[in-house]
Structure formats: C-alpha cells, structure tokens
C-alpha cells in the first residue's frame, strides 16, 4: 500500500513537471483526524462527510479550529465561501502561526478576509511575520475578480525554506522570496494551521469606521477541501518528518511557471490596492526586500489609507457582479 501511495505521488509530480505545475489532486484531510476546535463552542459545526466545516460569528463569540500537527514547510489549502450581505468588521482568517509556542518571537503567514458594508466587496489581506517581527508588517491588500460569497473558492499557501506563495483558485497572487536582508523576518520555525472567524470592528473595514452589526448575524463562513501536504514536526524531537513526495512537491511548486507568473502580474495590476513597499507613512524607506516599481507606486496612491489590527492571534475570537470573469492571464480581467 505504501509503495502504491508513493507511486501515485511520483506520477502526480511527474505530470506536474511535464505539463506545468498544478495544485490539483492532493489528498483532502478529515476534520477529526487532523484538526481540533480552538474556540467557539457550538459555533463550529462539522458536516456529516467529516471534511466540511462551518464557522459562525454571533453576539456571543466567533469560532475557529487548529491543526493537530505542527509543520515545517508545505502546501496548505481550503475552499472557502464567505458570509454574504452586510459583513463590515467581520474577519475570516486562514493562517499559519506558532504564537502559542514562541510568544515573543513567533512566525506567521496570513490570509485574512476583511468584510465590508452592503454593496462593497470583501478584500483579502496577506501578511508574514518572522521571529516576532510584528513591528514590521508586510501586508498587502487586494480585491477579487469574483464574488467570494456566491460559491466556494480555493485559497492556498505554499511555504518552503526560500519561498512563500499565496494562491487564489490556483493563481499565484503574491510571492515572497527569502533574501539575506530579511534575516530572521522570514518564517522559519514550525507552525500550526489556524482557521477562524472573529470581530475585527476596530480596524477591519475603513479603519474601524464600520463595525460588525449583529442585526445581520449569524455570520457564517464555510470550509471544505482542507489540504495539508507538508512536513509534520515530531512534537518531542522537534524534527520534521518530510517524505520524499512532499519534498519534491514543495520544490516543484515554488518555481512559478511563465504562464502563471503572467497571471500573477495581471492580478496585481488589476486588483492589488495596497502594498507595504509603497507605504511611506509607515516606512520612510522601503524594507530591503522590496522591489519598487514607480508605476505601481503611483497607481496605489489613489486608494484610501489603511489601518491594521494588533489582534492577539490566539483568541481571534453588496451589489454583486452578475458576470464572473476568469483569471486567464489577459488584460481583460
């Protein structure tokens, strides 16, 4: 059985290398085998299939769950359907962290989904921290080319020793390369995978101008196709157990193909609304890993100032588009 499993992983990897890397066909994990409820009591509901989860935010509490294992590198993914209607102040988070283990020098890799008032769309915020570098936020924000409340969409994080790549529906939207200038700011310690919904009224929507209105509660976020394909860490020896298939998969995934890189470029031109690299109110000089593009800097000046939340991660307690465009690498997006 083990030989067959390795053969299938090899064939999948071989197919990726021949036809261009794909993020498809990875095993989906069951909730009971791989996750534990973090908080929220009955606001977390696992469906009968054991692989789909519903998280709720109401007047009492938010909710969330965490992976049973720590990981040092891997590919982590979930299909998510966000709450509809008025969602200002609501934050849905899909992220990796080791804050419970390393309270003063933790690492983190974030997907945060920020709700909005009726008629305005959800936004995505991505961010990384390394070695407790929370004073140096590396946030980026963007809009999407679809309505994330109408259907499930796949959001993924690839983390290796040299790259972090964020994906939406298999399209890379952000790449962070490890540089010598980043030093310990690049996440490098084992982390758990967290998924939460919580009240971010103080900062999430227009810098706190609009908060959660519980008249529209409950706010429900739905999750399925949960994937953790990586290197789990032995909790006693603190050493990663990374099989050859996972290692090769991660290595292949960090090399973005020309076609996917073109799609990433289109996405960032069309949908990115904020990048820390151009925020001179926070950083008088761009952080050393930033590659400053004057045209991009000029374009991003038209967006409103943003505000970020110093939220303790442990307790992270509109008119819709009628046509859904495809991310096909063309400028028509």
* Residues carrying an active site annotation: 108, 112
**CA–CA gap between residue 202 and residue 209 (Å, rounded):** 8
User: 192 in helix, strand or coil?
Assistant: strand
User: Rounded to whole angstroms, how far apart are CA atoms 14 and 101?
Assistant: 37
Residues 6+ apart with CB under 8 A from 174: 126, 140, 165, 166, 264, 268
Query: Pairing mode, if any, of strands 53-57 and 35-39?
Result: unpaired
* Three-class DSSP category at 273: strand
Q: How many residues belong to the chain?
A: 333
Backbone φ, ψ for residue 156 (5° rounding): -140, 150
Q: Which helix (H) or strand (E) holds 15?
A: helix 2-19
Whether the link from the prior residue into 85 is cis, omega within 30° of 0, is no
| Phi, psi values for residue 43, rounded to 5° | -80, 0
């Amino acid at each position: 059985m083990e030989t067959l499993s390795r053969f299938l992983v090899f064939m999948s990897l071989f197919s990726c290398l021949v036809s261009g890397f794909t993020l498809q066909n990875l095993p989906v994990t069951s909730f009971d085998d791989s996750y534990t409820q973090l908080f929220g009591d009955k606001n977390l509901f696992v469906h009968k299939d054991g692989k789909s989860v519903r998280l709720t935010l109401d007047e009492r509490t938010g909710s969330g769950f965490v992976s049973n294992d720590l990981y040092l590198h891997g590919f982590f993914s979930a299909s998510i359907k966000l709450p509809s209607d008025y969602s200002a102040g609501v934050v849905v988070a899909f992220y990796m962290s080791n804050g419970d283990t390393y309270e003063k020098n933790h690492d983190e890799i974030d997907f945060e989904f920020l709700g909005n008032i009726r008629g305005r769309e959800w936004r995505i915020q991505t961010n990384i921290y390394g070695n407790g570098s929370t004073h140096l936020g590396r946030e980026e924000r963007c809009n999407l080319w679809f309505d994330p409340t109408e259907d499930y969409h796949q959001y993924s994080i690839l983390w290796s020793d040299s790259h972090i790549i964020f994906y939406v529906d298999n399209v890379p939207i952000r790449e962070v390369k490890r540089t010598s200038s980043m030093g310990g700011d690049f996440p490098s310690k084992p982390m758990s995978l967290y998924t939460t919904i919580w009240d971010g009224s103080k900062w999430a929507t227009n810098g706190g101008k609009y908060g959660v209105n519980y008249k529209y509660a409950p706010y429900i976020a739905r999750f399925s196709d949960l994937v953790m394909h990586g290197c789990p860490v032995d909790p006693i020896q603190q050493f990663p157990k990374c099989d050859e298939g996972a290692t090769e998969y991660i290595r292949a995934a960090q090399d973005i193909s020309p076609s996917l890189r073109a799609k990433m470029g289109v996405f960032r031109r069309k949908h990115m609304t904020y990048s820390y690299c151009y925020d001179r109110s926070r950083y008088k000089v761009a952080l050393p890993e930033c590659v400053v593009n004057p045209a991009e800097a000029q374009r991003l000046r038209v967006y409103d100032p943003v505000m970020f939340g110093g939220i303790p991660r442990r307790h992270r307690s509109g008119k819709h588009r009628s046509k859904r465009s495809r991310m096909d690498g063309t400028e028509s997006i």
